[in-house]
Structure 1
Amino acid sequence: MKRRNQLMFWISFLVVTLSFIVHGLQRFTDFAEGYQLIRGNVTAASPTTLAWIALLPFVCWIASAVLYRIRPDSIIVALLLTLTLTFSSMSIVAGGNGLVEYHFSIFMVLALIAYFRRINLILVSTILFALQHFAGFFFAPSLICGTTGYPFSILMIHAVFLILTSVALIIQIAVQNQERSVSLKRETEATALMTNASHQIEALVGNLKTNTKHLQQAAVQSVEATNQIATAIAPIVQSADGQHQSMQHGTDQLHQVNASIASIQAKMAQTVMTTEHMTKRALTGNEEMNLMDRRVEEMVKSTNGLHTSVTAMASRSDKIQKILASLEAIAGQTNLLALNAAIEAARAGDAGRGFAVVATEVGHLAVQSRSYANEVTEVLQALIADTDQIKTTAAGYTKTLAENQKMTSRVRQTFSDITHLVQEVEQSISSIQTARQGVGVQMLNIEQRMETTRTASLEVRHGIESTAVSLEQQTTVQHEFESMTESLSTMTASLEYLVDELTQHMTR
């Protein structure tokens, strides 16, 4: 209604201006003067009356302008504009000295008033025009006809066509209003449906945005957890490599120990043969007293060789102790690594359950390795004690031989003591051989277990590497999932923009 009032406001101003133009042409120029003489329209109303008739539509227009500033969509504005147009047409007819040609302004005004689509306004204007024609014909014919000799029948023709025009406009407005009512009803229903659909789409967009945010947060958390797991696995892989290298180094050292033990065994066999020979010679010593000095020298050499062998065996025992200390340190490191791996697996939850089992087994292997190292340490301590005993015995034997070299005269007296000492040496050597065999068996067991531990560490490493590869694949999938959620967010934003556009369009 506001837009119609605004448009008709300016159209009414143009019609009022046209009325002033007609008055000016007819009163101040000789416009259509010859044509009026031919038609017989020579009677003119008084200038005062024409002035009031010209000002009436302008007054109505001013009143409509004031009311339009206050209430632009008021129905009173439309009524005032209708009066402005109607009185403007009457002013044009009166100002044009009642020429028939100016009566066409009536149909122009009715056509303009029909823009309001209100039948009551058409009726108001038609009644005013009818009153103008009939009252003017009887009381002021110069204002409506320009002459006093205008036939009433011709005036009736004007009235009939005025009524027919009004009826046609009323019928058109009624039909248009009915169609517009039906269209408005359909538009209202469509707007309601679109509004409902818009609300549902808005709710859907809200759910999509919420779910998208949740998905993005879950994806980010998953990527962070994966990165943390990968970061935690990296030192475990390095520790597994270090453990594998340590196991390999321990295995090499065990091979060296076995080689040393084999060398000791060979020397001990040689020592056994020497002691057997000494025993035989001691039993027949009385018969070989003349060769005592040479034999004693040979025994001194053999004793020196025994001392050297025992010293070498003691040195190798120290190496074995260092190796066992390294093994115990490796076992402690493996146990600590297994504990760290179990903690990281517990943090990973269900995804690290399998890794926790592997870590537990590694811990068990570390405990077993430490136990075996302790057993070897005990055996080695016994071996060291025996070695010390051999060294003591060898020292006493060397001292006895030195005394025998100086005291040849006392050889027979002390020969029984030498025989006894040789027997003790033989028994000690037998004990050393027995201990050596036990150490050999234990070293073989340790070597086997070290190999088992090394194999287990390789399996742990391969398992960790497989887990790392799986984590990389999972990270790639999670990044793709993040890209999908970003695309979904973009689509949601586009859908939300379309919903806003649709809502604004319905509002307009």
Structure 2
Amino acid sequence: MKAKKNKVMLFFTGFFIGLLLLVMILHRGVGWLDRYLMITGRAGNGDFTLVITFLLILPVVFFIVAVLNYIRSKEHDLIEWFVMLSLTFGSIALIAVGDGLVEYHFSIFMVLAALAYYEHMRLLIVSTMIFALQHFVGYFAFPELICGTGDYPFSLLMIHAVFLLVTSGVLLTQIRVRSQFIADVQETDDRQQKMIKSLVERVARTSEVVTSNVEKLDNASKRSTETSLKNKESFSQMEAGASIQVENAVLSQSALKNVEDLVSQIVQTGKESEAIARDASHSATAGSTYMSDSMMHMAGIANHMNYMYEQMTSLNEKMKEIGRITEFITTIGKQTNLLSLNASIEAARAGKEGKGFSVVAKEMRRLSEQSNENAQIIVKIISQIQSETSKLNERITKAQKDSTTGLSQSEQTKQLFESIALKAEEVHEHLLQSLHHSNTIHSETEKALENVESMTSVTEQYRQTINESAVVSEKERNDRLIMDQSIHDLKHLILNLHDDLGELRAQEL
């Protein structure tokens, strides 16, 4: 504010100095109003050129100093004093350059009015004192520079002085009243500012508390909304689960009916199995008896096979003896053949006397060859008999082993039949117990079926309750959405209030 006043007053001072120079040019250069001065008997003030020059330089110097101070600091304390001195001495110089015309004395009131813009009483008082001193001293020392003539009445000068003092007094009074008014307004404004500041602080604290509570409420609402959504999902899942439970209960009821039918079938089957197990026990006992008889027959077969094995062994020995005899016959046949050959040779030597012996020798050789051929046939037959006997012997040995094994297996089979008979008795007893348990299960299944029917009814009621709770939860969620919107609007209003408070605090600063 002070810098702005200094800037305005510097422009006004520059304008005033320009006006001073214009008046000087008009009066000193052009000779403006010289005729009027001659008619009124004013010869001008050409003898006071040095004083006028000093008066012209003085306001210009003060103006330059004021401008330099403004350049250095726009709120410098000496600027207003140099402006006051420049305007005051500028007005004095204007009066002197204007040949003391009364019209230029109005510049004094203009200067005082301009200085009142500063609202600084000391400036007006000092300027008024300078003007008063200029009038009194100038009237006696340089009356032509003050009044334009040396015979100007002192009473008229006093009238100037009175109006100067009255004007200055009025301005001082206005400044004082204005200062007092401004002080009162400032005091009132300070009180109001304090009240507003206190109110702003209270509103700010209240706003912070409300904001905090709104944030808490918003967070709680969000958590509540999330909980509501979760409850909705839970209710949906519970409803789905209840529906599934109802379906499962119906399926369980159907399954229990099927179980009841199966248990009935199991009971019937158990009765039939008990009868079959009883028959199996009797059959196992009979099988054990039959196996005893079979073992006796197998033992007889084994004895016969042993006897056959012994006979076959004896037959093999006899066949070996026949083989040895056949070999002896073959040897005799070979020797007979050799003897017949020798006899033929000797008969050939004897000539006619040996022809009869030669015939005998041939017959012996023929018989020897037939003996050899028959011996070979016997050997072949014996070999075939021995081969067949060996095979028969092997079969008898195998049959003997099989009969021994069969006898052993028959013994094991008998033991198995005996074990089967024991197990059949145990199975019979277990089937009797299973039949008893099946009857018990049948009874319990009927009770479970009744409980499932009751559970189905309760589950259906539970599902209806869940549906009603879901509807209530949906209403609560809608109410929370409305509350969330209200909280959002309240937060928006609080934010606007914060912005207004920030602007109000900025204006205070």
Same fold (TM over 0.5): yes
1:460 to 446, 457, 462: 462
How far the C-alpha of 1:86 sits from its partner, in A, is 0.7
Q: Is the 8 A contact 2:37 2:44 kept in 1?
A: no
Q: Does 1:9 align with 2:10?
A: yes
Q: Does 1:475 align with 2:360?
A: no
Indicate the residue corresponding to 1:120 in structure 2. Answer: 122
Q: Distance in 2 between matches of 1:442 and 1:171?
A: 119
Q: Distance in 2 between matches of 1:489 and 1:216?
A: 9
How far the C-alpha of 1:440 sits from its partner, in A, is 5.8
Q: Is the 8 A contact 1:141 1:148 kept in 2?
A: yes
* Structure-2 change in CA distance of 1:456 and 1:54 (3 Å): same
Q: Distance in 1 between matches of 2:141 and 2:276?
A: 166
Question: 5+ residue gaps in structure 2?
Answer: 284-431
Q: Is the 8 A contact 1:4 1:116 kept in 2?
A: yes
Q: Report the 3-state secondary structure (helix = DSSP H, G, I; strand = E; otherwise coil) of the residue aligned with 1:154.
A: helix
* Structure-2 change in CA distance of 1:192 and 1:69 (3 Å): farther
Q: Distance in 2 between matches of 1:37 and 1:165?
A: 32
* Structure-2 change in CA distance of 1:441 and 1:140 (3 Å): same
- Larger deviation: 43-52 or 471-480? 43-52
Q: Is the 8 A contact 2:271 2:435 kept in 1?
A: no
Identity, % of aligned pairs?
26
Q: Which has the higher contact order (CA 8 A, sep 6+)?
A: 2
Per-residue CA distance 1:103-126 (angstroms, 9 max, x = gap): 111111111112222222211111
How far the C-alpha of 1:260 sits from its partner, in A, is 7.9
How far the C-alpha of 1:23 sits from its partner, in A, is 0.9
**1:189-204 alignment, distance < 5 Å:** 189-204=191-206
What's the TM-score once normalised by structure 1's chain length?
A: 0.64
* Structure-2 change in CA distance of 1:228 and 1:52 (3 Å): same
**1:179-194 alignment, distance < 5 Å:** 179-194=181-196
Q: Does 1:32 align with 2:33?
A: yes
Indicate the residue corresponding to 2:132 in structure 1. Answer: 130
Q: Report the 3-state secondary structure (helix = DSSP H, G, I; strand = E; otherwise coil) of the residue aligned with 2:31.
A: coil
Q: Distance in 1 between matches of 2:433 and 2:154?
A: 165
Indicate the residue corresponding to 2:421 in structure 1. Answer: none
* Structure-2 change in CA distance of 1:31 and 1:245 (3 Å): same
Q: Does 1:19 align with 2:39?
A: no
Per-residue CA distance 1:279-327 (angstroms, 9 max, x = gap): xxxxxxxxxxxxxxxxxxxxxxxxxxxxxxxxxx3xxx3xxxxxxxxxx
Indicate the residue corresponding to 1:83 in structure 2. Answer: 85
Question: 5+ residue gaps in structure 1?
Answer: 265-312, 318-379, 399-429
Per-residue CA distance 1:5-29 (angstroms, 9 max, x = gap): 2322222221122111111111121
* Structure-2 change in CA distance of 1:238 and 1:16 (3 Å): same
**1:212-231 alignment, distance < 5 Å:** 212-231=214-233
Q: Is the 8 A contact 2:13 2:63 kept in 1?
A: yes
Q: Distance in 2 between matches of 1:140 and 1:115?
A: 31
Indicate the residue corresponding to 2:309 in structure 1. Answer: none
How many residue pairs are counted as aligned between the two chains? 363
Q: Distance in 1 between matches of 2:229 and 2:142?
A: 104
Q: Report the 3-state secondary structure (helix = DSSP H, G, I; strand = E; otherwise coil) of the residue aligned with 2:217.
A: helix
What's the TM-score once normalised by structure 2's chain length?
A: 0.64
2:249 to 242, 247, 250: 247
Q: Is the 8 A contact 1:216 1:485 kept in 2?
A: yes
Q: Distance in 2 between matches of 1:433 and 1:389?
A: 9
Q: Is the 8 A contact 1:41 1:98 kept in 2?
A: no
Per-residue CA distance 1:71-111 (angstroms, 9 max, x = gap): 43344222221111111111111111111111111111111
Q: Does 1:95 align with 2:97?
A: yes
Q: Report the 3-state secondary structure (helix = DSSP H, G, I; strand = E; otherwise coil) of the residue aligned with 1:451.
A: helix
Q: Does 1:386 align with 2:285?
A: no
* Structure-2 change in CA distance of 1:258 and 1:149 (3 Å): same
How far the C-alpha of 1:234 sits from its partner, in A, is 3.5
Per-residue CA distance 1:448-493 (angstroms, 9 max, x = gap): 1110121222233223333333332232222222212111110101
What residue identity is the alignment partner of 1:501?
A: E
Q: Is the 8 A contact 1:386 1:432 kept in 2?
A: no
Q: Is the 8 A contact 1:41 1:99 kept in 2?
A: no
Q: Distance in 1 between matches of 2:443 and 2:167?
A: 132
Q: Is the 8 A contact 2:3 2:74 kept in 1?
A: yes
How far the C-alpha of 1:222 sits from its partner, in A, is 2.0
How far the C-alpha of 1:62 sits from its partner, in A, is 1.6
Indicate the residue corresponding to 1:170 in structure 2. Answer: 172
What residue identity is the alignment partner of 2:176?
A: A
**1:288-303 alignment, distance < 5 Å:** none
Q: Report the 3-state secondary structure (helix = DSSP H, G, I; strand = E; otherwise coil) of the residue aligned with 1:31.
A: coil
* Structure-2 change in CA distance of 1:434 and 1:47 (3 Å): same
What residue identity is the alignment partner of 1:4?
A: K
Per-residue CA distance 1:222-258 (angstroms, 9 max, x = gap): 2223323333444433332222112212323444566
How far the C-alpha of 1:158 sits from its partner, in A, is 1.5
* Structure-2 change in CA distance of 1:254 and 1:176 (3 Å): closer
How far the C-alpha of 1:436 sits from its partner, in A, is 8.6
Q: Distance in 1 between matches of 2:269 and 2:59?
A: 138
How far the C-alpha of 1:201 sits from its partner, in A, is 1.4
How far the C-alpha of 1:432 sits from its partner, in A, is 12
**1:57-456 alignment, distance < 5 Å:** 57-255=59-257, 313=265, 317=266, 385-392=270-277, 441-456=443-458
How far the C-alpha of 1:173 sits from its partner, in A, is 2.1
Q: Is the 8 A contact 2:143 2:149 kept in 1?
A: yes
Answer with 1 or 2: which has the greater Rg: 2
RMSD over aligned CA atoms reads 3.2
Q: Distance in 1 between matches of 2:177 and 2:438?
A: 125
* Structure-2 change in CA distance of 1:394 and 1:33 (3 Å): farther
